[in-house]
Amino acid sequence: MQRQERELPGGTGRAALSRRWKKADMGKADWTRKNKMLYRRDNIVLPYRGYYGQDRLPSDQWYLSICGNNPKSDRVEIGQLIKEGLLQEEQFIGVDFCEQIIASNKENWPHAHWHCGDFMQELYRIHKMYPPSVIHADFTSMPQTSIEAVKDLFRFIEIQDRPMMLIVNASVKIWVNKGMKIAHKRITEWQEMLQNIRKSDRWHTLGHDNVEFIPEFYMYGKGLSNSRSHMASCVFFYKSSKQ
């Protein structure tokens, strides 16, 4: 039986999202632009509140992200989520491999937790100290290995076996230059991965899905070299075997 698309408060179904993204400014890769803010609200804030039925993360839970640069603004990831009332500054954990970005983020947001290094290595290193209940993994900068990275995250969640929300982004198709030459295409692999997750015993219990996902494929800017990409963005909710 085919699953009906999940419609969350605020109109976050595929049709509603498509209409909103077409109206957004999809130009340069600027973390403060309208398309980025719409993305965070539609894929993080609204799904969290719609699924868990609560406005904010409990004080003993943490939000972990592949952070990028976060200047002092309510239009960047941490600033927007604080303004939306989803979390407090000290509940945000940011990981990036660039030392300069981490140093800048620490200066701008001193009460948050910033870590420099490989995302998965840092996740395994810090998860006992700050067990995340929400993980935001944007793998669009690594199109060749993004699906493998997402699978690593699934394995991590299965090992933890506790309730968790996972937001993942992956480049599944990239066009380069004006000729629209297809340089990379992994949409089929992405869809197969989702189907395998839904069939897995670890993600399904007593006939009830332990995973809910909201897939959305959309165009993502033009980048610095006249390239355009299709990005798959999916939201997963994992229920532990003890629930």
What is the rounded CA–CA span in Å between residue 187 and residue 174? 11
Residue-number span of the structural domain to which 19 is assigned: 14-238
Question: Residue 5: inside a domain, yes or no?
Answer: no
Number of structural domains in the chain: 1
pLDDT digits (tens, 9 = 90+) for 1-15: 333 334 444 444 434
The stretch 196-201 carries a mean pLDDT of 69
| H or E segment and range at residue 167 | strand 164-176
Does residue 146 sit in helix, strand or coil? helix
Question: Residue 129: inside a domain, yes or no?
Answer: yes
Q: Write down the pTM of the prediction.
A: 0.77
Q: What is the pLDDT of residue 203?
A: 56
pLDDT at 63 over 90: yes
Which CATH number fits the domain that encloses residue 30?
Answer: 3.40.50
